[in-house]
A and B are shown apart, each in its own frame.
Chain A
Amino acid sequence: MAFTETFLQSLTSVVPADRILTRAEDLVPYGFDGTAAIKQRPAAVVFPLTTDEVAACVRLAHEAKVPIVTRGSGTGLSGGSVPVPDALVLCLARMDRILEVDAENLTLRAQAGAVTLKIDEAAAAHGLLYPPDPGSMRISTIGGNVAENSGGLRGLKYGVTRDYVMALEVVLADGRVARFGSACVKDVAGYSMKDLFIGSEGTLGIITEVLLKLVPRPAARRTMLALFDSMEAAADTISAIIAAKIIPCTLEFLDRTTTACVEDYAKVGLPTDCEAVVLMETDGHPAAVADEAERMAAIALEHGAREVRTARDDAEATSLAAARRNAFSALARRRPTTILEDVTVPRNRLAEMVTFIAATAAHYNLQVGTFGHMGDGNLHPTFLTDERDEAEMARVHQALDAIVTKTLELGGTITGEHGVGLAKKPWLRQQMGDHSYELMKQVKAALDPEGLLNPGKIFD
């Protein structure tokens, strides 16, 4: 079977009809996520409000053999929530309640559709912090963050989403509900199944509820901009700061093209005449912050920074970080299509990688803007192109291939935080090696034998 009228009828017995969309005008906007040039209309979209409703939908889809694509806010950058033909999209955007902040145990429980920023705001109301802050945090859902194991601007010091997931509630492929993990700081009972679901991109189960770890909000922070006349000098500075055993919370990098686009939009006073801007932030105890900030500035100047500017106040610091969060979208100002990479290398290979990207773009005669979480070794070279120009697109693909090959040579990974989805699928086997790759497929087959959960994502 597949998606039929009968299936649709049965769906309305578990979710009211006004939460099921089937009209063309309703479906067209669910044909894509934040990824360029991938489009596929689903057969229907359903908005469950509870775990029970999710489970009921999944049971019906399982019986009818209808593929399910789970979606949060559709900001994914690897095509993860782009539907497959005849798919039912399970959109969790309305399961957005924050259920509890436990200020004694420093945890927060929320439905999977809760928006990342709202989670941090709820934590802040108790003097706490939820650290992972992806650029999309104003709209991305926590379910999407967990499913992609998203990183953010503070990843260097605080880690990524995985480091904050204590427990998950998951609806399995056949509609059973399972819980993994606990509210305990230590827990080694059985396999760490929750870790299997983190980063599973909607292919193993539907995450319906999360229990997150919070940390105390730091008492102080200092934000600085270091300006460089060469990208290599910026990369060297990053390596030197890390080698000096300083762990700042943020070391974000923008090249000249990206800086110009961001400034064009945000008008926060970024200099547009230097080759690289590094946004550096340290937070914690005021004395430690002052000390670290001073040492970071000194290291930057030693390694060729033209200038190091310090944000005047909290408001300026926040607006600088906000401007950086918009980097990817701002790059779209230049050309119609923006194709971004997510390559990540060991941090002492950064300078080499940055140089290679620039050379590759020049070789293929392409415009590229590079930015990224440099402290994590995670770069987002973004090709500014036009999907309608076939010749240019062919060169883009050649350039991407070259960058991926180089990344793997340097011991890096094809994706640091956006996931494999559809976009990175062709290179996964190459990176993982045959045995790991096959094992992963076995795991998928064990948890989703019918292959109905987000089919065709990560691997075929």
Chain B
Amino acid sequence: MAPPTLRTIDYAILQQCMHCGMCLPTCPTYDTTKHERNSPRGRIALMRAIADGDLEITKTFADEMSYCLGCLACQTACPAGVQYATLFETARADIERSGVNQNLKRDFWRSLTLKLLFQRPALLRAAGAALRLYQRSGLEGFVRRTGLTRLLPADLRRLEPQAPTISPRFSNRLIAPVETPKGEARFRVALLTGCVQDLAFAEVNRDTADVLLANGCIVETPPVQPCCGSLHAHNGETGLAQKLARQMIDLFPPTKYDAIISNAGGCGSHLRHYGPLLADDPNYHERARAWDAKLKDVHEWLAQIGVRAPEAAPFDQPTTITYHESCHLVHGQKVTRQPRELLRLLPGVTITELPEATWCCGSAGVYTITQPEQATLLQERKTRNILTTGATVVATANPGCHLQVARGLTAAGADIEVMHPMSLLARAYRREQRP
């Protein structure tokens, strides 16, 4: 069955918004402009007008939905239980189908990224390796210094300095397909390595595996994993997202594991909703529901099984750490208490609360490319808030946030490190072995 459009979606989902406005103060785009159109309430009103036939899907509507970060702060704030994530993805899919956004250049980039790279892990890794070569060879500095980047098309020029520094080795080289804990094995889990995480932060995956091993989990990490489909669903490619979800379920049969672990907020938020995504697929919907039940964010899982407190401190010096909440961890998955609890277990570490910890950093998938101005505004705001905490380490659990926050801090000349909570924990466990 074709995925629903704004006109065919269950009208009750649209009607659920009683336009009380309680979500407005949490919406970063509304905060910037104070225009209703740029607010959750306004966007839902536009969607409802389209559903009612009072409005067509126009380029302006498409721009509006592109301006929306998809951060889901509104969904957390909404007392009425509006499923903004569903509406957002439906609207974006509708926009893709309508063709109002069509132009050749955009199509080329979409095909290259969504349809090619982010569907074929081997190709993605190859592209990543090429990018690393470029970064490492000195060519990067040369190209930038000599202004050769000016020869690149404008889009690519914007993208180029944003490309993450690529990991020297990807997860498949760092983690064996099956690893068993030293002591008693209490659980069997699957570890999802992600796309961006795998390319830019493969060592975070290694750290995650180590933490799971230290807590009695057998860790299975198949070397080649499909993309989870989150980027596709967010950008209106519902069909592709469904296809990828089926591949994932085939590779990780949920009955085989006690938990399927994600360590990236953005992926996890999508990964735990395969049930609704495949609701109309008679072959998969039951397995998809079982999958959703097994899918755990790594912090959530560790808190659930009772994590072992590390005996060693992660750093030589007493260290102040603050925690930035990835939107899709806090709003998408409602995991907010557990990462803090884990961080508090670290010896020699003081946790200070980050003002506006749940306010989006502007990373939001491809947002830095599609909406550079708003992305930068949010990045600068995040940096300012971090600087008030006096922390020397920012913990955050999503590769997009990681890159965005780190770049913001670098731009501000701040000597503050960004680390995944799993890396901090793994570091502490490793230092237990030191004499």
Type the 1/0 row for B35-59, where 1 means its CB is closer than 8 Å to any CB of A. 1110101110110010000110010
Task: From A29, A47, A329, A333, give the contact of B20 (CB < 8 A).
Answer: A329
CB pair A74–B12 under 8 Å, yes or no, is: no
CB pair B55–A30 under 8 Å, yes or no, is: no
CB pair A47–B64 under 8 Å, yes or no, is: no
- Flag whether B80 is at the interface (Cβ < 8 A): yes
- Report the separation of the CA atoms of residues A16 and B45 in the bound assembly, to the nearest whole angstrom: 26
- Report the separation of the CA atoms of residues A333 and B55 in the bound assembly, to the nearest whole angstrom: 27
Task: From A74, A93, A117, A332, give the contact of B18 (CB < 8 A).
Answer: A332
Interface stretch among B21-29, B117-125, B200-208, B301-309? Answer: B21-29
Q: Which of B34, B55, B58 has the most CB of A within 10 A?
A: B34
A24 cross-chain contacts in B, Cβ below 8 A: 55
Q: What's the least CB distance linking B90 to chain A, in Å? A: 17
Interface stretch among A32-40, A233-241, A283-291, A406-414? Answer: A32-40
Question: Which residue in chain A gives the minimum CB-CB distance to B56?
Answer: A24
A257 cross-chain contacts in B, Cβ below 8 A: none
Q: What's the least CB distance linking A20 to chain B, in Å? A: 11
Type the 1/0 row for A228-271, where 1 means its CB is closer than 8 Å to any CB of B. 00000000000000000000000000000000001011100000
CB pair A26–B19 under 8 Å, yes or no, is: no
- Report the separation of the CA atoms of residues A270 and B263 in the bound assembly, to the nearest whole angstrom: 33
- Report the separation of the CA atoms of residues A30 and B42 in the bound assembly, to the nearest whole angstrom: 8
- Flag whether A278 is at the interface (Cβ < 8 A): no
CB pair B46–A336 under 8 Å, yes or no, is: no
Question: Which residue in chain A gives the minimum CB-CB distance to B81?
Answer: A333
Question: Which residue in chain A gives the minimum CB-CB distance to B58?
Answer: A25
- Flag whether A225 is at the interface (Cβ < 8 A): no
CB pair B34–A94 under 8 Å, yes or no, is: yes
Q: What's the least CB distance linking A311 to chain B, in Å? A: 19
A93 cross-chain contacts in B, Cβ below 8 A: 34
- In chain A, positions 81-131 with a C-beta closer than 8 Å to chain B are 91, 93-94, 96, 115, 117
CB pair A25–B22 under 8 Å, yes or no, is: no
CB pair B22–A136 under 8 Å, yes or no, is: yes
Question: Which residue in chain A gives the minimum CB-CB distance to B43?
Answer: A29
Q: Which of B16, B22, B60 has the most CB of A within 10 A?
A: B22
A28 cross-chain contacts in B, Cβ below 8 A: 37, 42, 45-46, 49, 54-55
- Flag whether B113 is at the interface (Cβ < 8 A): no
- Flag whether B79 is at the interface (Cβ < 8 A): yes
- Report the separation of the CA atoms of residues A75 and B39 in the bound assembly, to the nearest whole angstrom: 14
CB pair A34–B18 under 8 Å, yes or no, is: yes
CB pair B21–A34 under 8 Å, yes or no, is: yes
CB pair B60–A333 under 8 Å, yes or no, is: no
A-side interface residues, number (CB < 8 Å): 40
Type the 1/0 row for A129-162, where 1 means its CB is closer than 8 Å to any CB of B. 0000000101100000000000000000000000
- Flag whether A282 is at the interface (Cβ < 8 A): no
Task: From B22, B36, B61, give the contact of A138 (CB < 8 A).
Answer: B22
Q: What's the least CB distance linking B77 to chain A, in Å? A: 9
A21 cross-chain contacts in B, Cβ below 8 A: 35, 37
Q: What's the least CB distance linking B24 to chain A, in Å? A: 5
- Report the separation of the CA atoms of residues A30 and B61 in the bound assembly, to the nearest whole angstrom: 15
CB pair A265–B37 under 8 Å, yes or no, is: no
- Report the separation of the CA atoms of residues A21 and B16 in the bound assembly, to the nearest whole angstrom: 27
CB pair B20–A23 under 8 Å, yes or no, is: no
Q: What's the least CB distance linking B406 to chain A, in Å? A: 31
CB pair B15–A329 under 8 Å, yes or no, is: no
- Report the separation of the CA atoms of residues A33 and B21 in the bound assembly, to the nearest whole angstrom: 8
Q: What's the least CB distance linking B187 to chain A, in Å? A: 27
- Report the separation of the CA atoms of residues A139 and B41 in the bound assembly, to the nearest whole angstrom: 13
Task: From A23, A117, A332, give the contact of B80 (CB < 8 A).
Answer: A332
Interface residues of B (CB under 8 A from A): 12, 15-16, 18-22, 24-25, 34-37, 39, 41-43, 45-46, 49, 54-55, 58, 60-61, 64, 78-81
* Interchain residue pairs with CB less than 8 A apart (30): A25-B46, A25-B58, A25-B60, A28-B37, A28-B45, A28-B46, A28-B54, A29-B36, A29-B37, A29-B43, A30-B36, A31-B45, A47-B34, A73-B21, A73-B24, A74-B36, A75-B21, A91-B34, A136-B22, A139-B21, A139-B22, A264-B81, A266-B79, A328-B20, A329-B18, A329-B78, A332-B79, A332-B80, A336-B12, A336-B15
**Lowest 4 CB-CB distances: which A-B pairs, in order?**
A29-B42, A29-B36, A329-B79, A332-B80
Interface residues of A (CB under 8 A from B): 21, 23-26, 28-34, 36, 47, 73-75, 91, 93-94, 96, 115, 117, 136, 138-139, 262, 264-266, 326, 328-330, 332-333, 336-338, 386
